[in-house]
Structure 1
């Protein structure tokens, strides 16, 4: 059987370039390119430097994000980022394409408000993260459509409406997983079945069963637990910051009603509370940027990986369904060929029987004529025994044999009339169509076998790459989480130590004159 491993280089060198050019399957990259020693684009300098509201080419205004890469700038809308991600997903269905921020379903951008500014700033950061991750990816970062997206000289709308993007099939299960733009084997892929993600497998791959279980736990930790608790905690800290702002104003107002050392201490406490409010807001800004947003991004990654594993599951189901269909067609062909052989034997037997009947009819007809010619001459011989007595016994045997064969012929003729006017042609036509169907299924199975091998290897390689990146990212997130809490604590320790020194200076030994002054300080109010 032909080796359909897409990454097997053990080919006969004598065929040379001829084999490579005639090969229906070609891998644009190998799993090794996704390995730990692969070259990434860490040095690529891509940055979203601004977000600008404009109404160019539209009836209503919208936000464009100014991308700076190398020495050029280009403005792209959120919808264009969305289409770029869709293109990468359709061109590389076996790779983990980074997420973009979710589309908003309500009118956040209706007015130029503080909320809009916050949302735009958040989108700017997450879109920046998307571009950076794509650029660092060893395969996606080299994709020429990605570099077209970064070019100010190219119309992105024209890219979307031109081949090969405009001609890509909508269903990724009906194109080659390694090169969806390859049209050399379209018929085979078009005939592939479309299983559901829940289609059971007879022989599942344990590696991917483990990956599915790990992804489910990963999603639960990030989306159902960590993100939910983090959102609630950050909201409470935001409430505390607002309370600090109000409390600082109260202490500052209170200090105006006092005198001497107590007034100075109250003012210092108010300043410390204000400083705590400012440091808490600064911590919350770092919290959102360096911790909450990465958590949400990894929650999105969990959904992306689940879809990727579903895609691989469907490819495996396609393979098993094709094996079943091919086996059923081969069994059907065997039955048809057996029926054809039986029909041929029956026709031969009937032909031999009809020939025997004709041979028996000829001598019997001659005997009947002789009997008629000699009838007059034999009438006067009353005493002689009739000739028919001598010949009646063999004649009856012949008639019975003739009647039997004629009955079989009548049955055959009747059945042929009921079933088909030309049953032989019908049988042979069915056999021909079944053989053609088997050839198509064999071609589809060849494509499916290759796809399953390619899909399994590249998904596993990209999952390994993602795991290495995830560990590095989570480490960075935890470092940031500890750092902004530490910075918050250090800033508050300093201001509160100064406030404490001022509090220690409060004189609690009041004389009678000071007490009298305190009691009359509000008389004029």
Structure 2
């Protein structure tokens, strides 16, 4: 049964069958509505005239004219309009902290499309090596699940989380909100593909190559090898190639908890390797401890900046309205005196407008260069815990097999020593019997007495049995033997000196076979541990390097955005101050 086939997390929603953009099941993150903000207010210069800032994100097919709103700027005023603010804020790096040398895959478009089975869904257009392929969010999700099972020792990059169905009812939905979700998903899914491409184990894997190849239907890929032959538990398969388990792998213990793991016991790793893993685990835990509160603070600051930009917008509208009112009520006689005052008021309103536009752009930057990358890093850190857990479970397998092997060998040694001691004791008794006539006579008398008692008992039992069952008389007496009593408990739980010689020999032979299998399993688990250590260490070290580089890039991008925001606000108010200073009292 393929657990990835026919994924319905995007299709069972209340808007299915309507014209709403959510009809195909587009999802958002699980943190809530405030994870998404408009793409920002981007203003463009057209023929050196004042243009209007687009405060909403247009839906596919909507004209640009329907989404603009005026900020009350008088185009006849010869002052520099707010559209001239540096476009570096709007055109800066909006990749969300992606490393530039890794951005080889892009998702430029997203929209409604019809798959080969007639389903409507939101499709994401992937551009890679001059080819285009459309994939749904559910296909990205199943790709990641497949990679997690195919590569248990590799940290798999995260994707945007699913949207619970209940949020379709709790959150107000609109075309604008749908577009925000799509824009975020485009950024995050592009980051996912580029991060996967940067990992050689994923880039060279056949499943990832088929995902980027338009010639393959993803549904058919999920229903074909290697995905359909994956084991249910990666602990019972080779860590670097789980689709080809050996018969010995099926004999390994499949533990799900670490309660039996002894951190001080030997586990097939060198002291140097254990030191490196301990350092990496502590370093990643420190990152997580620092970034979790930072993520909350970034969300709060973004909301505060959003409120501040709304105030700037309102103030700018008021000042612009006052400047227009002054021009309307001015008479021709006082026009010369009122016009400079009106222009000064309008310039102040223009300053608030510039603050509003630049603050909206800064809010977008806070989302794309800080908040989203921090969220992605936190998901990376959670994924690293899966790799560390897998390694610890393999260590537990190693310890269980090693301890079991040691117990079996100790049991064999104990049985052999007991057998040898009993033989020596019997030889000593026989030797003493030969040397002491009294003891030999007593032993001979004891053996004769036992023989007479046994003969009398057997004769009595035979006569009584024949009287009760006449049919038994046809069987010769020599063939009627008493059955040997069987032990109800396992012989391995019984002290060796309480077993008979035959039972000890039988248990020794059985334990030799177990030890042989355990030695084969021990050789196998040592090889697996070596592969797990090398692959996991390489993957976790690469993750630390990636986080360090991305964190440095995020701080640089954030610093640039703040400098641009401050520069534009300062220039606007310096111009306003110059105009106000020229007003004659």
Whether these two folds match at TM > 0.5 is yes
Alignment RMSD: 3.6
CA distance in 2, matches of 1:296, 1:219: 11
Is 2:329 aligned against 1:252? no
1:326 matched to 2:405: yes
Q: 1:118 to 1:320 in 2, by over 3 A?
A: same
SS in 2 for 1:52: strand
Does structure 1 residue 481 correspond to structure 2 residue 558?
yes
- Match among 239, 244, 257 for residue 182 of structure 1: 244
Q: Does 1:210 align with 2:271?
A: no
- Does the residue aligned with 1:436 lie in a helix, a strand or coil? helix
Quick check: 1:268–1:502 contact (8 Å CA) kept in 2? Answer: yes
CA contact (8 A) 2:391 2:532 kept: yes
Is the alpha carbon distance of 1:146 and 1:161 closer, same or farther for their aligned partners in structure 2, counting shifts above 3 Å? same
Do the aligned residues in 2 keep the contact of 1:140 with 1:146 (CA within 8 Å)? Answer: yes
Alignment equivalent of 2:227, drawn from 165, 187, 190? 165
1:487 and 1:416 mapped to 2: Cα distance?
A: 95
Which residue of structure 2 aligns with residue 196 of structure 1?
Answer: 257
Query: Structure 1 residues 400 and 480, CA, compared in 2 at 3 Å: closer, same or farther?
Result: closer
**Is the counterpart of residue 505 in structure 1 residue 573 in structure 2?**
no
Quick one: structure 1 residues 273 and 397, their matched pair in 2 at CA, closer, same or farther if it must change by over 3 Å? closer
Deviations 1:53-97, CA, capped at 9 Å, x for gaps: 235467874311111111221111111111111222222211221
Structure 2 residue aligned with 1:226: 294
How does the TM-score come out when normalised to structure 1? 0.72
Distance 2:446 2:412 in 1: 40
Partner of 2:200: helix, strand, or coil? coil
Match of 1:402 among 441, 445, 448: 448
* Matched residues, number: 425
Deviation at 1:150, TM superposition (A): 0.5
Alignment CA distance shift 1:279-1:42 (3 Å): closer
- 2:72 corresponds in structure 1 to none
Shift of 1:269: 0.9
Whether 2:141 is the aligned partner of 1:75: answer no
Q: TM-score, normalised by structure 2?
A: 0.65
1:329-352 CA deviation, whole Å, 9 max, x = no partner? 2223334455666788999999x9
Larger Rg: 1
2:146 corresponds in structure 1 to: 87
Preserved CA contact (<8 Å) 1:74 1:150: yes
Which residue matches 2:371? 292
- Within 1, Cα distance between the matches of 2:215 and 2:130? 13
Deviation at 1:140, TM superposition (A): 1.7
Structure 1 position 489, deviation (Å): 1.4
| Deviation larger for 327-336 or 244-253 | 327-336
Quick one: distance in 2 between partners of 1:397 and 1:260?
139
Deviation per CA, 1:271-300: give whole Å up to 9, x if none. Answer: 111111111111221221122111111111
Alpha-carbon distance in structure 2 between the residues aligned to 1:418 and 1:66: 73
Q: Secondary structure at the match of 2:111?
A: strand
Higher helix fraction (1 or 2) = 1
Aligned to 1:145: 207
Distance 1:60 1:245, change over 3 A: farther
Aligned to 2:569: 492
Which blocks of at least 5 consecutive residues in structure 2 are unaligned?
1-98, 267-273, 327-337, 435-439, 458-480, 489-498
Task: Please say if residues 291 and 378 of structure 2, whose CA atoms lie closer than 8 Å, have aligned partners that are also in contact.
Answer: yes
Deviation at 1:452, TM superposition (A): 1.3
SS in 2 for 1:201: coil
Contact 1:175 1:190 in 2 (8 A): no
Aligned to 1:155: 217
Matched residue SS, 1:506: coil
Shift of 1:395: 11
